[in-house]
Chains A and B, each alone.
Chain A
Amino acid sequence: MMRFVVRRLLELVVVFLGVTFLIYAMVFALQGDPIAALAGDRPLPDSVVRVLRARYHLDESLWQQYLRYLGGLLQGDLGTDFTGRPVSERMASRWPTTIVLALTAWLLEVLVGVSLGLWAALRHGRLADRAVLLGTIVVSSIPIFVLGATAQLYLGVRWRVFPVSGTQDGWPMGFLLPAACLAVFGLAAVSRLMRGSVIDAMSSDWVRTLRAKGLSPRRIVGVHVMRNSGIPVLTFLAVDLGYLLGGAIVVEGIFNMPGIGQLLFAAIRAHEGPTVVGVSTVLILIFLVISALVDITNSLLDPRIRRDR
């Protein structure tokens, strides 16, 4: 078990280095000069540009910049943007919004997705099952900006059930609508995954054994099937949490929420390399840590994954 954890953490480090380098390279290759963007309409004198470039190490090669960045990262420094403010400081004010939004969406996926999937599976082949299947396809094929804007129009403007935009109403009212829009896609996937794996489990030989033991359907489903079917669903849910944190850009835009996604979007448009890299790094780190945790939890749930016992 210990070896499994160590190996998994080593993998994490390798992937982290690879992906951050990739992001760094892409930002490096981004068109446009950040110093020029900073200066606005009036061109700066060459000498000033040279000094600024040296200060932000823009004159160095990609490798040098990347290694310098990694060095800073090891000391907990995410870099500074071109106005001299630390990137971590700029993110700090944005995180709560994004985290609350993502967690709300995630909670909806867990509660609604899992129960919908389970409900459909236990009514396999009947009307309820087909309705869930069809419904999840329809809902997940609507583009998120159409869904978001429509929900905003009806539930926000016309019927006034939820606030139209912004976070001033706080949790839960201010977050429910954007979270629901954000969750829709994952929710459909979770319910389908749950449905499939419960159906598989229910037709397995070991469920027949449990019935032959005289166990009640409640215990068979609640204890045995849930633990077996929960493994793939849990994997998906955990990976999806990372996606929800980083993928809120569009929803944050539609509902005008001051989150990380908005910051990232603005930074990309302004060629603010350090901010883009800093935000991406944190998102990647969250994503990687979550998936490592999932693998470790999975191996606790499923003894067959613990290979080297």
Chain B
Amino acid sequence: MTAGHPDAGPLLSVRGLRIAFVDGSHEHEVVHGVDLDVARGEILALVGESGSGKTVTALAAARLLPGNARIDGRVLLDGVDLTALDERELRSVRGSRIAFIFQDPAGALDPVFSIGAQLVEAIRRHRRDLARAAAREHAVGLLDLVGIPDARTRMGDYPHQFSGGQCQRIMIAMALSCEPELLVADEPTTALDVTVQQEILDVLVDLSARLGTTIVIITHDMGVVADVADRVVVMRDGRVEEQAEVHRLFTAPRADYTRVLLDAVPRLTLEGAGPLASDTHDDAHDDTALLTVEDLQVTYRTARGTVDALRGVSLRITPGEVVGLVGESGSGKSTIGRAVLGLTPVTSGRVRLGEEDLSHLRRARLRAVRARIGAVFQNPAAALNPRYTVGASVGEPLRVHRGVRGAELDAQVAALLESVRLPAAWARRYPHELSGGQRQRVAIARAVSLRPELLIADEPTSALDVSVQATVLDLIRDLQDQLRFGCLFITHDLAVVDRLCDRVVVLHAGRVVEAGTRREILHAPTEDYTRRLVAASPVADPVEQRRRRAARRSLVS
């Protein structure tokens, strides 16, 4: 990206920034002296894991933090110290010179005002001379610019009538409405599907090129960094670990932490090198299927009518095989998992575990069969009873299904915790004393406590930080090697599939689009949809990402 004013200083300059949250008399510092510069016209990525202070730092620039935050240090926008401005002066900066877009686009728009009203409000806030009609025209133009079809007729629609991706486009339109010099995008694509993520990132990069807007993008996704950033600032525990140009950061990281972060990123090995899991596991597979799903249809009834979540899905898992089920949100992938667990009524079709037909079992029998299936879900905080100790949660299946009690139970729980690499003494702790990754380990220990033949893992790592994600995936891999359970691994992340799965089933709109070995699906997909999915999932390699972006652009023009 070309810089607007090559000779002038940086657009935004942060010096000695310290942020603390005051809770009663207790003060908790989360950012400990951050220095960074954002040059005019560049796209700067602010990277770090949860708790690194990256979002807080960016919000502090416009003093958008809650009232109990205390900010020290200086934030210079074009040489003017923002920390010295009073609220009133700051308000004329917000939205007009610094604009924001946030992670959850649907929640970031006021639900009870039409998007047109919200856009016009943003425009007229900083351009009072503009008449209402002119502001509306400008708003329509902005919606066109960010790619909302039928912009004029959709001005009167409300946020809930748009998809997540469209809401994010609307947020971008609103952020751009007063032609800000700096756009701060806080995890703008984290809540979105990969193909939608690609579209949103394209819009951002395109706008930065066309309008010369400087962008700070906050993310934890190295793929996104490689895709859009010119320069990268890596943060950890409220400090800057490293600042570097994007190519240099990926090829020659200086800080140890950057190296850890890069190593932890699950990579799609696009050229197909490296050993394939299926090669090492082939001996374990025999032809008797462990799980058979035949022509499964699930229809939900809602207030608006019926929704076909699954429209005839068939798949098979043999004992000891890890099958990845990938698809975007709404594809029905989680519904399959729920149907196998008997948590969703099946409209038609069959689900069989071995010889047992799960779809037509009576309650008591179903409970017994469920002991043969383990399950791990996305959000470990919600999946563990907060009032049970870790030991009680892990031991519950053993107590209920096997009748294990007393010292025998304690010993088995201890062994299970050690198998997921947690200290046995942690059995007495409560979930809130554990981190997200540790909680997920507990959930995994519980899932494998009965030595299940089948494990259903529904996005078990997508709520976790990358470095934690890597260790949890390794753990599942190791446990699978030891216990040889079959596994239905549900995920939206192809890189995770690449790391773990023998076979892959691609789901789209309730139907199986394509199924095959991992190598076939990831490296030689035959269906258009799979190809788009593979191409949209960003890899942590700036050179490859720039090649792909160029290819996409030549396709469009």
List chain A positions with a Cβ less than 8 A from chain B. Answer: 204-206, 208-216, 224, 227-228, 231, 301-304, 307-308
Verify if B100 is at the interface (C-beta below 8 Å from A): yes
Q: Return the chain A residue nearest B105 by Cβ.
A: A205
Across the interface, do A205 and B111 meet the contact criterion of CB distance under 8 Å?
A: no
Docked complex Cα distance between A224 and B121 (Å): 11
Q: Return the chain B residue nearest A212 by Cβ.
A: B100
In the assembled complex, which residues on chain A have CB atoms less than 8 Å from the CB atom of B62?
A: 212
Q: Return the chain A residue nearest B174 by Cβ.
A: A213
Docked complex Cα distance between A308 and B108 (Å): 24
Specify which of A206, A209, A307 lies most central, judged by the most chain B CB atoms within 10 Å of its CB. A209
> Beyond the given A208-B64, A208-B102, A213-B94, could you list 15 further A-B residue pairs with CB under 8 A, ordered by the A residue number?
A205-B107, A206-B111, A209-B109, A209-B110, A210-B110, A212-B100, A213-B99, A214-B93, A214-B125, A215-B121, A216-B91, A228-B110, A303-B111, A303-B161, A304-B112
In the assembled complex, which residues on chain B have CB atoms less than 8 Å from the CB atom of A205?
A: 102, 104, 107-108
Closest CB in chain B relative to A230 CB, distance in Å: 9
Across the interface, do A303 and B112 meet the contact criterion of CB distance under 8 Å?
A: yes
Verify if B198 is at the interface (C-beta below 8 Å from A): no
In the assembled complex, which residues on chain B have CB atoms less than 8 Å from the CB atom of A303?
A: 111-112, 114, 158, 160-161
Closest 5 CB pairs of A and B: A214-B95, A214-B94, A303-B158, A212-B100, A205-B107
Docked complex Cα distance between A213 and B99 (Å): 7
In the assembled complex, which residues on chain A have CB atoms less than 8 Å from the CB atom of B556?
A: none
Across the interface, do B95 and A212 meet the contact criterion of CB distance under 8 Å?
A: yes
In the assembled complex, which residues on chain A have CB atoms less than 8 Å from the CB atom of B174?
A: 209, 213
26 examples of A-B residue contacts, CB within 8 angstroms: A206-B108, A206-B109, A208-B102, A208-B108, A209-B102, A209-B110, A209-B171, A209-B174, A211-B64, A211-B94, A212-B64, A212-B99, A212-B100, A213-B94, A213-B99, A213-B121, A213-B174, A214-B93, A215-B91, A215-B121, A216-B91, A224-B110, A227-B112, A301-B112, A303-B114, A304-B160
Verify if B267 is at the interface (C-beta below 8 Å from A): no
Q: Return the chain A residue nearest B94 by Cβ.
A: A214
> Total contacts A to B, CB within 8 angstroms?
73
Docked complex Cα distance between A210 and B113 (Å): 12
Q: A208-B64, A209-B102 are in contact. Are A214 and B111 (CB under 8 A)?
A: no
Across the interface, do A213 and B125 meet the contact criterion of CB distance under 8 Å?
A: yes
Q: Which of B96, B110, B113, B303 is in CB contact (< 8 Å) with A214?
A: B96
Verify if B363 is at the interface (C-beta below 8 Å from A): no
Q: Return the chain A residue nearest B92 by Cβ.
A: A214
In the assembled complex, which residues on chain A have CB atoms less than 8 Å from the CB atom of B304?
A: 307-308
In the assembled complex, which residues on chain A have CB atoms less than 8 Å from the CB atom of B104?
A: 205
Interface residues of B in 79-136 (CB under 8 A from A): 91-96, 99-100, 102, 104, 107-114, 121-122, 125-126
Docked complex Cα distance between A90 and B208 (Å): 76
In the assembled complex, which residues on chain B have CB atoms less than 8 Å from the CB atom of A228?
A: 110-112
In the assembled complex, which residues on chain A have CB atoms less than 8 Å from the CB atom of B125?
A: 213-215
Across the interface, do B112 and A212 meet the contact criterion of CB distance under 8 Å?
A: no
Docked complex Cα distance between A228 and B118 (Å): 14
Interface 1/0 per residue, B155-190 and A, CB below 8 Å = 000101100000000010010000000000000000
Closest CB in chain B relative to A46 CB, distance in Å: 60
Specify which of B93, B110, B125, B161 lies most central, judged by the most chain A CB atoms within 10 Å of its CB. B110
In the assembled complex, which residues on chain A have CB atoms less than 8 Å from the CB atom of B121?
A: 213, 215
List chain B positions with a Cβ less than 8 A from chain A. Answer: 62, 64, 91-96, 99-100, 102, 104, 107-114, 121-122, 125-126, 158, 160-161, 171, 174, 303-304
Docked complex Cα distance between A209 and B106 (Å): 11
Closest CB in chain A relative to B458 CB, distance in Å: 25
Across the interface, do A206 and B107 meet the contact criterion of CB distance under 8 Å?
A: yes
In the assembled complex, which residues on chain A have CB atoms less than 8 Å from the CB atom of B114?
A: 303
In the assembled complex, which residues on chain A have CB atoms less than 8 Å from the CB atom of B158?
A: 303-304
Closest CB in chain A relative to B215 CB, distance in Å: 15
Docked complex Cα distance between A228 and B160 (Å): 14
Q: Return the chain B residue nearest A215 by Cβ.
A: B125
Across the interface, do A214 and B126 meet the contact criterion of CB distance under 8 Å?
A: yes
In the assembled complex, which residues on chain A have CB atoms less than 8 Å from the CB atom of B95?
A: 212-215
In the assembled complex, which residues on chain B have CB atoms less than 8 Å from the CB atom of A216?
A: 91
In the assembled complex, which residues on chain B have CB atoms less than 8 Å from the CB atom of A214?
A: 91-96, 125-126
In the assembled complex, which residues on chain A have CB atoms less than 8 Å from the CB atom of B108?
A: 205-206, 208-209
Across the interface, do B122 and A213 meet the contact criterion of CB distance under 8 Å?
A: yes
In the assembled complex, which residues on chain B have CB atoms less than 8 Å from the CB atom of A308?
A: 304
In the assembled complex, which residues on chain B have CB atoms less than 8 Å from the CB atom of A301?
A: 112
Q: Return the chain B residue nearest A306 by Cβ.
A: B158
In the assembled complex, which residues on chain B have CB atoms less than 8 Å from the CB atom of A213?
A: 94-95, 99, 121-122, 125, 174
Docked complex Cα distance between A215 and B123 (Å): 11
Docked complex Cα distance between A42 and B113 (Å): 71
Closest CB in chain A relative to B101 CB, distance in Å: 9
Q: Return the chain B residue nearest A205 by Cβ.
A: B107
Docked complex Cα distance between A210 and B119 (Å): 11
Docked complex Cα distance between A212 and B62 (Å): 8
Q: Return the chain B residue nearest A201 by Cβ.
A: B110
Across the interface, do B102 and A302 meet the contact criterion of CB distance under 8 Å?
A: no
Specify which of A205, A212, A227, A303 lies most central, judged by the most chain B CB atoms within 10 Å of its CB. A212
In the assembled complex, which residues on chain A have CB atoms less than 8 Å from the CB atom of B99?
A: 212-213
Docked complex Cα distance between A297 and B439 (Å): 45
Across the interface, do A302 and B111 meet the contact criterion of CB distance under 8 Å?
A: yes
Docked complex Cα distance between A231 and B109 (Å): 17
Specify which of B92, B107, B108, B160 lies most central, judged by the most chain A CB atoms within 10 Å of its CB. B108
Docked complex Cα distance between A227 and B112 (Å): 8
Closest CB in chain B relative to A174 CB, distance in Å: 40
Across the interface, do A212 and B111 meet the contact criterion of CB distance under 8 Å?
A: no
Q: Return the chain A residue nearest B122 by Cβ.
A: A213
Closest CB in chain A relative to B256 CB, distance in Å: 34
In the assembled complex, which residues on chain A have CB atoms less than 8 Å from the CB atom of B102?
A: 205, 208-209
Q: Return the chain A residue nearest B156 by Cβ.
A: A303
Q: Return the chain B residue nearest A304 by Cβ.
A: B160
In the assembled complex, which residues on chain A have CB atoms less than 8 Å from the CB atom of B113?
A: 224, 227
Docked complex Cα distance between A206 and B354 (Å): 50
In the assembled complex, which residues on chain B have CB atoms less than 8 Å from the CB atom of A231?
A: 112
Docked complex Cα distance between A227 and B107 (Å): 16
In the assembled complex, which residues on chain A have CB atoms less than 8 Å from the CB atom of B160?
A: 303-304
Docked complex Cα distance between A204 and B94 (Å): 18
Q: Return the chain B residue nearest A204 by Cβ.
A: B107
Q: Return the chain A residue nearest B103 by Cβ.
A: A205
Closest CB in chain B relative to A210 CB, distance in Å: 7
Specify which of A214, A224, A227 lies most central, judged by the most chain B CB atoms within 10 Å of its CB. A214
In the assembled complex, which residues on chain A have CB atoms less than 8 Å from the CB atom of B161?
A: 303
Across the interface, do A304 and B92 meet the contact criterion of CB distance under 8 Å?
A: no
Docked complex Cα distance between A210 and B175 (Å): 11
Closest CB in chain A relative to B524 CB, distance in Å: 42
Docked complex Cα distance between A215 and B93 (Å): 11
Docked complex Cα distance between A35 and B185 (Å): 80
Closest CB in chain A relative to B386 CB, distance in Å: 21
Closest CB in chain B relative to A206 CB, distance in Å: 5
In the assembled complex, which residues on chain A have CB atoms less than 8 Å from the CB atom of B92?
A: 214
Specify which of B104, B121, B126 lies most central, judged by the most chain A CB atoms within 10 Å of its CB. B121
Closest CB in chain B relative to A302 CB, distance in Å: 5
Across the interface, do A304 and B111 meet the contact criterion of CB distance under 8 Å?
A: yes
Docked complex Cα distance between A308 and B304 (Å): 7
Docked complex Cα distance between A264 and B112 (Å): 42
Closest CB in chain B relative to A108 CB, distance in Å: 27
